[in-house]
């Protein structure tokens, strides 16, 4: 099976897929696309041919391209069911997906590079204003996730139950993003504890931005 991942070391959406690939033990070839160099390699005609959305990640499997990190992670789940990243029951699966989507749909898009570039460029915001924006939307999402983890974690070390799920795969990269803007995690002790545990696991460690071949 030939897997190629279009990635960028600092991309938290690509980080999710790197974690899922590592957890599943699936080897892949990283194909870095620098999001800032030359106006952003993700906007080149060549890359738009791969992913018309001009976003990383994209995963190529035997020549066919998949986009959107959650769709890719679910594809990997079907390709390689073990270890399972979704619970066995429908309620559990819906709950885990809801937590992953809280990150992927309601936190991360507001802090995506092109949104921040628009705030800086067209809306004339300085770094301080942009950082306030980022922190505001992460904090708002983390308040809810903190409650959800309180309800659904089985051991205080995972978002749901007592094993790694896609909720964990999506949380850790968002926590990494929050550190980049020095967001205080003290108000979210459950999230901080879960993230600390997960980051100590080999698959999460291998997928972290600093461990990537294109890390600067
Ligand atoms: N919903 C998408 C988000 C992908 C995304 O926003 N990727 C960012 C990096 S984390 C990106 O490529 N940004 C480039 C840009 O905004 O131009 C997913 O989950 O895959």
Residue ID of nearest Cα to ligand 1 atom 9? 11
Predicted pLDDT at 93: 98
Residue pair 205/211 in contact by the 8 Å Cβ criterion? yes
19-31: per-residue pLDDT in tens?
Answer: 999 999 999 999 9
| Residue 111 Cβ contacting ligand 1 at under 6 Å | no
How many A from CA of 1 to the centre of ligand 1?
A: 25
190-205: per-residue pLDDT in tens?
Answer: 999 999 999 999 999 9
State whether the Cα torsion 98-104-109-111 is positive or negative.
positive
Residue 1 has pLDDT above 80, yes or no: no
Helices (H), ranges, 34-165: 45-50, 69-79, 90-106, 113-120, 127-152
78-88: per-residue pLDDT in tens?
Answer: 999 999 999 99
| Residue 44 Cβ contacting ligand 1 at under 6 Å | no
Residue ID of nearest Cα to ligand 1 atom 1? 68
The set of residues, in sequence order, having a beta carbon less than 8 Å from that of 120 and lying 6+ positions away, is 126, 130
Q: What is the mean pLDDT of residues 33-48?
A: 95
Predicted pLDDT at 107: 98
Q: Which atom of ligand 1 is nearest to the CA of 10?
A: 10
Residue 6 has pLDDT above 80, yes or no: yes
Predicted pLDDT at 177: 96
| Residue 177 Cβ contacting ligand 1 at under 6 Å | no
| Residue 174 Cβ contacting ligand 1 at under 6 Å | no
Predicted pLDDT at 116: 96
| Residue 13 Cβ contacting ligand 1 at under 6 Å | yes
């Amino acid at each position: 099976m030939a897997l190629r991942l279009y990635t960028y070391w600092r991309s938290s959406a690509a980080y999710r897929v790197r974690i899922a690939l590592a957890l599943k033990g699936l080897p892949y070839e990283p194909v870095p696309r620098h999001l800032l160099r030359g106006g952003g390699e993700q906007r080149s005609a060549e890359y738009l041919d791969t992913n018309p959305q001009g976003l990383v990640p994209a995963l190529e499997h035997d020549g066919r391209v998949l986009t959107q990190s959650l769709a890719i992670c679910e594809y990997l789940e079907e390709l390689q069911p073990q270890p399972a990243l979704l619970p066995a029951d429908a309620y559990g699966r819906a709950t885990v997906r809801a937590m992953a989507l809280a990150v992927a749909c309601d936190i991360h898009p507001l802090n995506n590079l092109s949104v921040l570039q628009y705030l800086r460029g067209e809306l004339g915001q300085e770094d301080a204003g942009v950082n306030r924006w980022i922190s505001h939307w992460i904090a708002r999402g983390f308040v809810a996730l903190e409650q959800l983890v309180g309800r659904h974690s089985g051991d205080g070390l995972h978002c749901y139950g007592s094993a790694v799920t896609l909720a964990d795969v999506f949380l850790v990269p968002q926590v990494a993003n929050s550190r980049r803007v020095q967001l205080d995690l003290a108000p979210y002790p459950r999230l901080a504890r879960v993230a600390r545990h997960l980051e100590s696991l080999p698959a999460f460690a291998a997928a972290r931005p600093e461990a990537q071949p294109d890390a600067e």
